[in-house]
């Protein structure tokens, strides 16, 4: 997403914190093998899917049910990259459909507007939406239960929140002072997973592999159009300031090679040679690195070009 001050985007860090789903796992979501008891459970679920019109039509239950059974058994899957790649693909599809429709047709999409709304609320200030506190969440439920908020995902912080009509102003997105570069260091009673704690100790949830995968450009796994294995480009190098790293001019990298080899080469090379430098840059609480001079000149040039385009009455975008 582009603003006058640069770019920002949902990252693996955002997905991990808001949804509380893992970045890496020990299970392969594209090759699930069930034992005899699990196959019996699958048969029961499949029978129910045929009886339920909504599930049969709108859910790829042949893929979802085995995954759900393995999750219930305690298998950890890399759900964060799967979710983020699906979000990216759906947003790209909306953009493509909007161009083809030329504003004359409505667009139906399965994009997670729920996550996008929470992402904007976490990242931007001045939106006139106040999150709930642990105490108020307890009161909303009638005070009948003593909640252990350590086990709650961060999305519960926005329980029953709504934007007041007319409160959102697009100009907020262009005000860099309204953007929260490090939202997950804030102490608010809900559990978050910052890359590093203020004291400089490693997070109990995110290890060095998760940290490196989240902050370096690579490819992430995705479900294809026919729910087969696919890859999606992940470009955190374009929004380094979200991780407290110096921001340079946006660039395009190549992602050649097989997915498995790409991840193996990535973790072996960067884990050994770059981890110390990267870790030191993220140790400080609320660390927000500055943009480089070339970054500032780049975006100033973009603004000047756009103003010139508007002033000369260029062709319609």
pLDDT tens across 218-235, in order? 888 888 776 678 888 898
Residue 135 near residue 89, CB atoms below 8 Å: no
Examine residue 32 and state whether it is found in any structural domain, yes or no. no
Number of domains in the chain: 1
Percent of the chain scored above 70 by pLDDT? 69
Examine residue 267 and state whether it is found in any structural domain, yes or no. yes
Q: What does the alpha-carbon distance between residue 13 and residue 184 come to, in Å, rounded to a whole number?
A: 9
CA distances from 245 to 16, 197, 274 (A): 19, 16, 13
Examine residue 38 and state whether it is found in any structural domain, yes or no. no
Between residues 150 and 80, the one the model is more confident about = 80
Provide the mean pLDDT of the chain: 76
Residue span of the structural domain in which 106 resides: 2-25+78-311
Give this prediction's pTM: 0.80
Residue 16 pLDDT greater than 50, yes or no: yes
Residue 199 pLDDT greater than 50, yes or no: no
Confidence of residue 143 (pLDDT cuts 50, 70, 90): low
The pLDDT, as a whole number, for residue 316 is 54
Q: Which of 252, 250, 228, 229 is nearest to 241 (CA)?
A: 250
- What is the signed CA dihedral for 204, 206, 209, 211, rounded to 10 degrees? -130
Q: What does the alpha-carbon distance between residue 151 and residue 75 come to, in Å, rounded to a whole number?
A: 18
Residue 194 pLDDT greater than 50, yes or no: yes
Examine residue 141 and state whether it is found in any structural domain, yes or no. yes
Residue with tokens 């997973």: 193
Residue 156 near residue 192, CB atoms below 8 Å: no
Q: What pLDDT, in 10s, does the model give residues 240-286?
A: 888 878 888 877 665 554 444 444 444 443 433 444 555 555 555 55
Mean pLDDT to the nearest integer, 196-214: 60
Examine residue 40 and state whether it is found in any structural domain, yes or no. no
Percent of the chain scored above 90 by pLDDT? 8
E-strand ranges in the chain read: 2-3, 6-7, 218-223, 229-234
Between residues 145 and 287, the one the model is more confident about = 287
Residue 99 pLDDT greater than 70, yes or no: yes
Q: What does the alpha-carbon distance between residue 79 and residue 24 come to, in Å, rounded to a whole number?
A: 8
Mean pLDDT to the nearest integer, 128-136: 73
The pLDDT, as a whole number, for residue 197 is 47
Examine residue 297 and state whether it is found in any structural domain, yes or no. yes
Burial class (CB in 10 A: 0-12, 13-18, 19+), 36: exposed
| Secondary structure class of 247 (helix, strand, coil) | strand
Examine residue 60 and state whether it is found in any structural domain, yes or no. no
Q: What pLDDT, in 10s, does the model give residues 30-80?
A: 888 899 999 998 888 887 776 665 555 556 677 788 888 999 998 888 899
The pLDDT, as a whole number, for residue 284 is 57
The pLDDT, as a whole number, for residue 51 is 67
Between residues 4 and 115, the one the model is more confident about = 115
The pLDDT, as a whole number, for residue 200 is 44
Residue 126 near residue 168, CB atoms below 8 Å: no
Residue 144 pLDDT greater than 60, yes or no: no
Q: What does the alpha-carbon distance between residue 92 and residue 89 come to, in Å, rounded to a whole number?
A: 5
Of 22-26, 103-107, 268-272, 313-317, the one with minimum mean pLDDT is 268-272
The pLDDT, as a whole number, for residue 137 is 60
Q: Which of 86, 95, 90 is nearest to 231 (CA)?
A: 86
Q: What share of the chain is helix, strand, coil (3-state, %, to 5)?
A: 50, 5, 45
E-strand ranges in 193-266 read: 218-223, 229-234
Of 18-27, 53-62, 63-72, 118-127, the one with minimum mean pLDDT is 53-62
Between residues 189 and 84, the one the model is more confident about = 84
Examine residue 62 and state whether it is found in any structural domain, yes or no. no
| Secondary structure class of 128 (helix, strand, coil) | coil
| First CA to last CA distance, the chain | 17
Confidence of residue 116 (pLDDT cuts 50, 70, 90): very high
């Amino acid at each position: 997403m582009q603003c006058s001050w640069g770019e920002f985007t949902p990252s693996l860090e955002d997905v991990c914190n808001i949804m509380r789903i893992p970045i890496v796992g020990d299970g392969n979501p594209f090759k699930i093998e069930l034992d005899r008891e699990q196959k019996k459970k699958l048969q029961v679920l499949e029978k129910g899917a045929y009886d339920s019109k909504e599930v049969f039509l709108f859910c790829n239950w042949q893929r979802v049910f085995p995954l759900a059974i393995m999750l219930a058994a305690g298998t950890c899957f890399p759900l964060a990259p799967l979710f983020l790649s699906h979000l990216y693909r759906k947003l790209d599809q909306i953009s493509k459909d909007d161009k083809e429709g030329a504003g004359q047709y409505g667009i139906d999409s399965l994009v997670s507007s729920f996550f996008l709304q929470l992402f904007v609320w976490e990242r931007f200030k001045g939106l006139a939406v106040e999150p709930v506190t642990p105490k108020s969440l307890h009161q909303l439920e009638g005070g009948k239960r003593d909640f252990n908020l350590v086990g709650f995902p961060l999305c519960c912080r926005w329980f029953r929140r709504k934007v007041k009509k007319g409160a959102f102003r697009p100009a907020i997105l262009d005000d860099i002072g309204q953007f929260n570069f490090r939202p997950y260091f804030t102490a608010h009673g809900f559990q978050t997973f910052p890359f590093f704690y203020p004291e400089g100790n490693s997070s109990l949830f995110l290890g060095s592999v998760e940290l490196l995968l989240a902050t370096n450009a690579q490819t992430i796994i995705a479900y294809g159009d026919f729910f087969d294995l696919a890859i999606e480009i992940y470009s955190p190098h374009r929004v380094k300031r979200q991780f407290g790293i110096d921001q340079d001019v946006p660039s395009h990298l190549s992602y050649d090679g097989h997915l498995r080899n790409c991840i193996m080469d990535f973790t072996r090379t960067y884990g050994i040679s770059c981890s110390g430098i990267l870790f030191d840059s993220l140790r400080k609480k609320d660390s927000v690195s500055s943009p480089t001079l070339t970054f500032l000149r780049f975006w100033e040039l973009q603004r000047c070009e756009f103003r010139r385009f508007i002033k000369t009455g260029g062709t319609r975008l």
